[in-house]
Each structure stands twice: as C-alpha cells, then as structure tokens.
C-alpha cells in the first residue's frame, strides 16, 4: 500500500483503486503530505456519508416499512411520499430532546461509549472494496483488520452499561460481552475458511478470487462466489454475524421485556442517536463483510462502473434478511443463546475449517 485517499495508488501493483477521471480531477499529491491528508479525508468523508445516509434511511423508515409488510400492518405513511419524511421528523425529534445524564454516571466512559460504538463500525469500512473504484485502503491483513475494529464495539457496550450507573444497563453490557465472545470465534474461524480458498487476507484479492466462473448451465455462467462454493460456511457466517450485531433472534443484550433497553437504557437525545446509529452501522458493516467474502463483492452484470450499485444492493439484501428474522423468529433465551454459540457454531465452524483445508489440499 503506497498511499490513501482519492488520488493515490493503493493496490500492490501500484494502480489506483479509484476512477481515473476522479484522480485527474483531484491531483492532490502535488501538495505533499498536506495533499495526502486532504485526499484521505475526502475519501473517508465520501464513504462515511454513504454509510450514514443508508443508516438514516434504514433506521427510521426502511425498518418500519419492512416490518409492517412482514406483519401485515400499515407503517409510516403520512410524512411525504410513502412516509419518507419520517427520517427528518425523527432526526428533529431525537436531537431536540433534552440530554439527560444519570446522576451516578461515570462521565468520561458515559460520553465516549456512543462514539466508540459508532466509530468502530465506520472504521471497518476503510478496507471494504465497494466497487466503482471506491476503496480507501487495501492492507495485506484486511480481513483481520475489519474483524478487529468491529470487535471494538464490545468495549463500547461495556462502557455504556457500566458508566450508566444502572443495574439493568450493566446486565445488558455483560450480556453483550458474553454474546460477542461466544460468536466472535465462530465468525472469525468461518472467515478463515474463505481465506484458505482465496489464499490471501487482502480484501481485494478475496473479491478477485471469486471473479472466475465456477461452471455454466444452459449458457448461464455461475460465478465462483464462496456462498456457492461453500454454502455451509455461508450459513454459519450469517448466523454468527446476526448474533454479533445483536439482531433477532439474538438481541438479548437489549431485550426490552427483560432489560428495558439494556446498555442503552440511560441514553437520550444525541447520545441515543449515536448508539442507535452505531447499531445499524454494524448491521451494514456485517452485510459488507458478507458481501465481500461470500457474494463476490461489487461483482455483477454490466460494466464495472456499476460495482457500487451491486455492492449496495447486496448489503441491503442482508439488511432485509435481518428484518425478516426480526419479524419471523422469536428471541432465543440467554442460556440457549450461549449454548448455540459455544456448543453449536464453534464446533461446526472448526469442522468446516478442517474440511475446507482437506478439500484445498486435494485440489492443489
């Protein structure tokens, strides 16, 4: 990696990861280190705003519309076409509320927790190849990096639960840690089976390895996406990812019936917005990881310029699946949740890893 941002080569072969006309437009390398920093900032600004815009649509509007469709109810429909104005209304409503700080709160940890939760998700997008030349950085350990930064959110959850001075929040934080530990290991082990197939931890090379056709049927070419090559690993990764981001049926850390709202009970106004934003950012980050290592990344029919379109369609598909499960599958009891992780997914993920190693050894 020789640089970062919009105007600098990032791939091992020295070629840029961004469209040529954009590079020509933003020739910032002539300004030295200041230009490099500005290019990196502009690139990060674009990617962050794409993700924040999607989260702004998903949380207040898409979540409600999808859940209503699954449960045969009427969702928001009064503010703007199809109720899309609820996004602005919710933003104004939440940000204008009084920010109430608990008397017994540990202020430094209480204030930093929402930033840690949301920031860890945004940081993970730095190594995700989104197509159409949008790729901030491509380190050799890209997959390890994205797993590592996504795991930082667990620290934020503990901070939020502990610093709130509320026993229910503390229980929610502890449940979140127990759940993340139980499912983080199967998630990483299953991801390593993809690395064995691709022969690299670099995200761009994992995507490139899925670019070759697997086989053709009646003129239809089936791509070598790892979701097709190894559907068992794909299913394991999906389940572990849903547990990692705390979506149904694995949302016990914030279960409203048992814990009011878990680690986020004592957060209001802009702090609650950040926590809520972080939750949905992690859903989309999980979708981006699944898309990258199992669904061919930005690959799809048509010119390469449409890569970002296919990438966004795929991660929205993962989001749709999370909302489907939210409406269709009941919440798992906490002891069952831990057993599924330690006694089920952990064993199956290692079995999948050993089988993958054996298959690769036979093939090669």
DSSP state of 79: S
Residue 12's pLDDT band, with cuts at 50, 70 and 90, is: very low
Average pLDDT over residues 243-251: 79
CA distances from 188 to 158, 173, 183, 255, 345 (A): 21, 22, 9, 26, 11
User: What is the spatial distance between Cα 209 and Cα 151, in angstroms, rounded to a whole number?
Assistant: 26
**What pLDDT shows up at residue 18?**
47
Whether pLDDT at 315 is above 80: yes
**What pLDDT shows up at residue 259?**
63
Whether pLDDT at 218 is above 70: no
Most confident region among 17-21, 128-132, 251-255 by mean pLDDT: 128-132
Q: For the chain, what are the domain ranges?
A: 102-363
Is the backbone peptide bond immediately before 35 cis, with ω within 30 degrees of 0? no
User: What is the spatial distance between Cα 169 and Cα 181, in angstroms, rounded to a whole number?
Assistant: 18
| Lowest-confidence segment of 28-37, 70-79, 204-213, 262-271 by average pLDDT | 28-37
Write 188-191 long-range contacts (CB < 8 A, 24+).
188/147, 189/346, 189/349, 189/350, 189/352, 189/353, 190/233, 190/236, 190/237, 190/240, 190/349, 190/352, 190/353, 191/143, 191/147, 191/237, 191/289, 191/293
pLDDT in tens, 76-86: 888 888 888 88
Residue partners of 284: CB distance under 8 A and separation at least 6:
51, 54, 55, 58, 121, 315, 319
Average pLDDT over residues 275-300: 91
Return the exposure string of 46-73: e unless at least 16 CB atoms fall within 10 Å of the residue's CB, then b.
bbbebbbebbbebbbbbbbbbebeeeee
pLDDT in tens, 36-83: 677 777 778 888 888 888 988 888 888 888 888 888 888 888 888 888
Residue 330 β-bridge partners: none
**What pLDDT shows up at residue 263?**
82
Residue 220 β-bridge partners: 217
* pLDDT averaged over every residue in the chain: 83
Q: Is the distance from CB of 318 to CB of 291 less than 8 angstroms? A: yes
Q: Is the distance from CB of 146 to CB of 127 less than 8 angstroms? A: yes
Average pLDDT over residues 197-212: 90
Whether pLDDT at 13 is above 60: no
Residue 335's pLDDT band, with cuts at 50, 70 and 90, is: confident
Residue partners of 23: CB distance under 8 A and separation at least 6:
6, 7, 16
Q: What is the DSSP string of 296-307?
A: -TT--SS-GGGH
pTM given for the model: 0.87
């Amino acid at each position: 990696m020789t640089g970062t941002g919009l105007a600098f080569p990032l791939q091992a072969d020295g070629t840029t990861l961004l469209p040529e006309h954009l590079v020509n437009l933003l020739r910032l390398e002539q300004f030295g280190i200041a230009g490099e920093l500005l290019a990196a900032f502009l690139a990060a600004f674009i990617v962050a705003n794409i993700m924040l815009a999607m989260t702004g649509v998903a949380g207040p509007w898409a979540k409600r519309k999808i859940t209503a469709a699954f449960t045969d109810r009427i969702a928001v429909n009064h503010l703007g076409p199809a109720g899309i104005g609820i996004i602005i209304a919710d933003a104004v409503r939440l940000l204008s509320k009084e920010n109430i700080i608990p008397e017994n709160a540990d202020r430094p940890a209480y204030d930093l927790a929402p930033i840690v939760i949301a920031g860890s998700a945004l940081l993970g997008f730095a190594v995700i190849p989104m197509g159409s030349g949008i790729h901030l950085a491509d380190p050799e350990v890209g997959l390890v990096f994205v797993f590592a930064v996504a795991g930082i959110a667990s620290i934020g959850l503990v901070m939020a639960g502990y610093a709130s001075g509320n026993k229910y929040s503390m229980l929610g934080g502890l449940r979140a840690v127990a759940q993340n530990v139980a499912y983080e290991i199967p998630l990483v082990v299953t991801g390593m089976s993809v690395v064995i197939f691709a022969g690299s931890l670099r995200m761009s090379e994992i995507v490139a390895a899925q670019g070759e056709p697997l086989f053709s049927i009646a003129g239809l070419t089936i791509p070598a996406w790892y979701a097709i090559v190894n559907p068992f690993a794909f299913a394991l990764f999906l389940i572990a990812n849903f547990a990692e981001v705390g979506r149904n049926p694995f949302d016990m850390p914030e279960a409203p019936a048992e814990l009011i709202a878990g680690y986020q009970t004592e957060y209001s106004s802009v702090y609650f917005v950040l926590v809520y934003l972080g939750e949905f950012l992690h859903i989309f980050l999980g979708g981006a990881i699944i898309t990258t290592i199992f669904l061919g990344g930005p690959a799809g029919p048509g010119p390469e310029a449409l890569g970002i379109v296919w990438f966004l369609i795929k991660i929205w598909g993962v989001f749709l699946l999370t909302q489907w499960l939210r409406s269709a599958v009941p919440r798992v009891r906490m002891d069952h949740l831990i057993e599924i992780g330690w006694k089920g997914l952990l064993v199956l993920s290692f079995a999948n890893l050993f089988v993958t190693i054996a298959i690769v050894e036979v093939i090669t």
